[in-house]
Structure 1
Amino acid sequence: MTPPAPDGLSPDGLPPGPAARLTPNATPPETADGAPDDAWMDALPQAVLLARAGLVTRVNASAARLWGVPQERALGRPVLEVVRRHTLETLLERDGELELEVTGRTLRCAATRSGDQGALIVEDVTEHRRREAELREATAVLSHEFRTPVAALRGVLEALEYDMPRDLSQNFVRQGLQETERLARLVEDLAVGFRPTRARTLPLAEAFTRAERLLSADLHARGAAVSFGADHLVRADPDKLLQVLLNLIENALKYGPAGQRVEVVTAERGTWVEVSVLDRGTPIPDTENLFRAHTRGRAATGQGSGMGLYIVRSIVQGWGGQAWAERRGDANAFCFTLPGVGGLGL
């Protein structure tokens, strides 16, 4: 079945026309043995339309899919009957480039002419534009979030220029180290989506041990504890998996009750392994919105970029999994899945 054309247009919506409308120029050029010599055009991901004197002489396979018009039906038709947009017809007549938003997609269109012959090339750049937007967003967050720790570090260094009691200077040094750690975490959070993936098979216990070691100081300071569920073999980038665990456990420590035990629960879900981080905090309304960029929960206090759960979901979706939050009994559960590679027999 031919897929529907953009903007609600029906497939093969051309009016019937006599074969006499085809002109000698409406057939593609042939090689000496009579075979088309431009079959390579059908392998192009861009939609390509060739025209002469306002009539279509060739559309490749991508163009046929884009406009919902079989290639043979397009030959000899006026350009407007095929593209069904005056904007594109005018572009082909005048040359140039433009971008169109069509049914949620961004299309980059370019046209060129030589005499009465013209070519229209249309490329779907939706994914490219989405990545550009994410990069701009990450850059904006970087600029905003770095100001506070940089200003704090400047204040610490300025204070250390003066003679002061040793205990006071050590306190400033501790503050500086804390701000340095915060800067390092910001860099990790903002760069994680741009690092190449180095997936390997590993036991979840390996990631759990690394997370517990890195969180030990925070756990001690809060009088809290964390427990981990059963081990499973999984396939993931160890550093990105660690980043997900750290973000979720730190959130549980921040927003759950003081001195609580954070539980990390695991379960097999077919060929996937589900990991859930549970805290005993108050119920969270509209959990789906928490995974959007620059969004924080209503109970959030202090400084934060609102990017933590957005980064978690981005990483998890990168390996094909899902990330979500739900209420389980008296606990908030922040969950994600990752590819499993069989049980460990533990």
Structure 2
Amino acid sequence: MTGAVRGGTSMPDLWMDTLAQAVLLTEGGVVTRLNAAAARLWGVPQERAEGRPVLEVVRRHTLETLLERGGELELEVSGRTLRCAATREGTAAALIVEDVTEHRRREAELREATAVLSHEFRTPVAALRGVLEALEYDMPRELSQNFVRQGLQETERLARLVEDLAVGFRPTRARTLPLAEAFTRAERLLGTELGARQASLTFGPDHLVRADPDKLLQVLLNLIENALKYGPVGKGIEVQTAERGTWIEVCVLDHGPSIPDTDSLFQAHTRGAGAPGQGSGMGLYIVRSIVQGWGGQAWVERRGERNAFCFTLPGVAGLG
């Protein structure tokens, strides 16, 4: 007697049916038992599966071979990721199948979050390096204090990013601010790059907006850096602003070549065709994610001879 029986089902069988993993047992290539999860996975009632050849139940030669040889593998089946493991002892074999789709999704989200944070850390770290390099030289006290203030500001920004990493991206710290405040910060931080590219940077009329100042700065930096990187040397970059109902539209215009398939640029790890150098392909993905977080939209369009990288953010009445 192999075990106590309740209602015609042995206790070991009841235990197998409580498992979340699909379990299939075979003897000589014939199914001797499968639990409830396996019956759901392969759509075969338990009583009908027993005594049938393995292939008739699992309907995949890959799994049949795995049972014959033993080992592990992962399969993509109907949009699900299945981790399969098989063991053998003589003519008996067991197959265990676990749905790891959610686990793989979380791993992908973690990789994506790491890429986003890596991209966001780059700008304040570069700014701090510039501040420290400048402070190595003798300069008037007023100028050195200005560099110290800039360094402290970027240190605070880094601290916020560390907090975001610790708590899994907190809700935005939105406040009302003039666009000119973000424009001034962006122009200061990009001064070296603007000089290297011999490019001027002009801004449109000021507007009051509602946004997280650091996230708004990140959007502007990403778009202006792209314009500098992909536009011709010596050409000016213009940041246009306009009211669109209760929203404010901001567009960064460059003199780069026309861009095909613009919507795909906002996907993660995607770069434009023919993009020079190396890059993470995360910049525009970050832009769209931030903008959508405050309910706005981000897009690219062609305006005359220039590319316009645009986004919208909530406006606040009172500043024209």
- Paired position in structure 2 for 1:16: none
User: Alpha carbons of 1:297 and 1:67: their partners in 2 closer, same or farther (altered >3 Å)?
Assistant: same
Instruction: Quote the Cα distance in structure 2 between the aligned partners of 1:295 and 1:303.
Output: 12
- Paired position in structure 1 for 2:31: 55
Instruction: Quote the Cα distance in structure 2 between the aligned partners of 1:320 and 1:189.
Output: 18
Instruction: Quote the Cα distance in structure 2 between the aligned partners of 1:179 and 1:213.
Output: 17
User: Aligned to 1:263, what secondary structure does the other structure show?
Assistant: strand
User: Alpha carbons of 1:229 and 1:79: their partners in 2 closer, same or farther (altered >3 Å)?
Assistant: farther
Residue type of the alignment partner of 1:131: E
- Paired position in structure 2 for 1:118: 94
Residue type of the alignment partner of 1:57: R
Deviation at 1:138, TM superposition (A): 5.6
Deviation at 1:73, TM superposition (A): 4.5
User: Alpha carbons of 1:216 and 1:92: their partners in 2 closer, same or farther (altered >3 Å)?
Assistant: same
- Paired position in structure 2 for 1:32: 6
- Paired position in structure 2 for 1:196: 168
Where do 5+ consecutive residues of structure 2 fail to align? 192-200, 229-235, 315-320
Deviation at 1:48, TM superposition (A): 0.3
Deviation at 1:55, TM superposition (A): 0.5
TM-score (norm 2): 0.57
- Paired position in structure 1 for 2:285: 310
107, 113, 127: which one aligns with 2:105: 127
- Paired position in structure 2 for 1:109: 84
> What are the superposed Cα offsets for residues 142-194 of structure 1, whole Å, 9 maximum, x if unpaired?
8988986676566446x34xxx3x33x87677667767766776786798577
Equivalent pair of 1:276/1:335 in contact (CA under 8 Å): yes
- Paired position in structure 2 for 1:224: 203
**Which moves more between the two structures, 212-221 or 104-113?**
212-221
User: Aligned to 1:82, what secondary structure does the other structure show?
Assistant: helix
Instruction: Quote the Cα distance in structure 2 between the aligned partners of 1:296 and 1:190.
Output: 27
Instruction: Quote the Cα distance in structure 2 between the aligned partners of 1:41 and 1:314.
Output: 44
Instruction: Quote the Cα distance in structure 1 between the aligned partners of 2:112 and 2:291.
Output: 16
Residue type of the alignment partner of 2:23: L
Say if 2:299 is the partner of 1:325. Answer: yes
Instruction: Quote the Cα distance in structure 2 between the aligned partners of 1:321 and 1:79.
Output: 53
User: Alpha carbons of 1:36 and 1:209: their partners in 2 closer, same or farther (altered >3 Å)?
Assistant: farther
User: Aligned to 1:261, what secondary structure does the other structure show?
Assistant: strand
Where do 5+ consecutive residues of structure 1 fail to align? 1-24, 232-237, 268-273, 339-346
Residue type of the alignment partner of 2:22: V
> What are the superposed Cα offsets for residues 86-121 of structure 1, whole Å, 9 maximum, x if unpaired?
442343455543333556654322335678362412
> What are the superposed Cα offsets for residues 50-89 of structure 1, whole Å, 9 maximum, x if unpaired?
214141522434x455445455553433222222334423
User: Aligned to 1:50, what secondary structure does the other structure show?
Assistant: strand
43, 56, 76: which one aligns with 1:81: 56
User: Aligned to 1:109, what secondary structure does the other structure show?
Assistant: strand
RMSD over aligned CA atoms reads 5.6
Instruction: Quote the Cα distance in structure 2 between the aligned partners of 1:320 and 1:34.
Output: 60
Aligned residues: 285
User: Alpha carbons of 1:227 and 1:197: their partners in 2 closer, same or farther (altered >3 Å)?
Assistant: same
User: Alpha carbons of 1:148 and 1:324: their partners in 2 closer, same or farther (altered >3 Å)?
Assistant: closer
Residue type of the alignment partner of 2:282: M
Residue type of the alignment partner of 2:219: L
User: Alpha carbons of 1:186 and 1:103: their partners in 2 closer, same or farther (altered >3 Å)?
Assistant: farther
Percent of aligned positions with the same letter in both sequences? Answer: 35
Instruction: Quote the Cα distance in structure 1 between the aligned partners of 2:260 and 2:129.
Output: 35
Deviation at 1:311, TM superposition (A): 1.9
Say if 2:258 is the partner of 1:278. Answer: no
